[in-house]
Structure 1
Amino acid sequence: MGWERELFGVLDDLEQQAEAAYDLERAAELADRSRAEYQQVTLASRLVASLDREVVLEVRGVGPTAGVLERVGTGWCHLRAPGQDWVVHLPAVLAVRDAAERSVPEVAWPATARLGLGSPLRRLAEAAERCVVRTVEGTAHDGTLSRVGADFVEVRTGGTGRVVLVAFTGLAAVQSRDP
Structure 2
Amino acid sequence: MSWEHELFALFDDLEGQAAALWEADREAELADRARAEYASVTLASRLMASRGGEVRLDLPHVGRVEGRLERVGESWCLLGGRGQDWIVPLRHVVAVHGASSRSVPEVAWSPVDRLSLRAALRRLSESGSRCVLHLADGAWHAGRVERVADDFLECRPDVEPGAVDAGAPLLVPYAGLVAVQSREE
Length-normalised TM-score, structure 1 = 0.91
* Counterpart Cα distance in 2 of 1:99 and 1:161: 41
Q: Which amino acid aligns with 2:45?
A: S
Q: Within the alignment, does 1:93 sit opposite 2:93 as a pair?
A: yes
Deviations along 1:40-95, one digit per CA (max 9) or x if unpaired, are 11111111111112111111231111111111112110011311110001111111
Query: Partner of 1:110: helix, strand, or coil?
Result: coil
* 1:71–1:113 CA contact under 8 A, matched in 2: yes
1:9 Cα deviation after fit = 4.2
Q: Within the alignment, does 1:161 sit opposite 2:167 as a pair?
A: yes
1:11 Cα deviation after fit = 3.0
* Counterpart Cα distance in 1 of 2:68 and 2:20: 47
Within a 5 Å distance, the mapping from 1:35-46 to structure 2 comes to 35-46=35-46
Q: Which amino acid aligns with 1:119?
A: A
Query: Partner of 2:25: helix, strand, or coil?
Result: helix
* Counterpart Cα distance in 2 of 1:149 and 1:44: 23
* Counterpart Cα distance in 1 of 2:18 and 2:155: 69
1:17 match = 17
* Counterpart Cα distance in 2 of 1:108 and 1:25: 32
Query: Partner of 1:18: helix, strand, or coil?
Result: helix
1:17 Cα deviation after fit = 2.3
2:67 match = 67
Query: Partner of 1:11: helix, strand, or coil?
Result: helix
1:178 Cα deviation after fit = 1.9
1:132 Cα deviation after fit = 0.5
Superposition RMSD on alpha carbons, in Å? 1.8
1:80 match = 80
Q: Within the alignment, does 1:53 sit opposite 2:53 as a pair?
A: yes
* 1:62–1:136 CA contact under 8 A, matched in 2: no
* Counterpart Cα distance in 2 of 1:4 and 1:111: 69
1:178 match = 184
* Counterpart Cα distance in 1 of 2:100 and 2:113: 18
Identity fraction in percent: 53
* Counterpart Cα distance in 1 of 2:39 and 2:110: 22
* 1:85–1:177 CA contact under 8 A, matched in 2: yes
Aligned length: 179
Q: Which amino acid aligns with 1:175?
A: Q
* Counterpart Cα distance in 2 of 1:56 and 1:125: 25
* Counterpart Cα distance in 2 of 1:20 and 1:49: 38
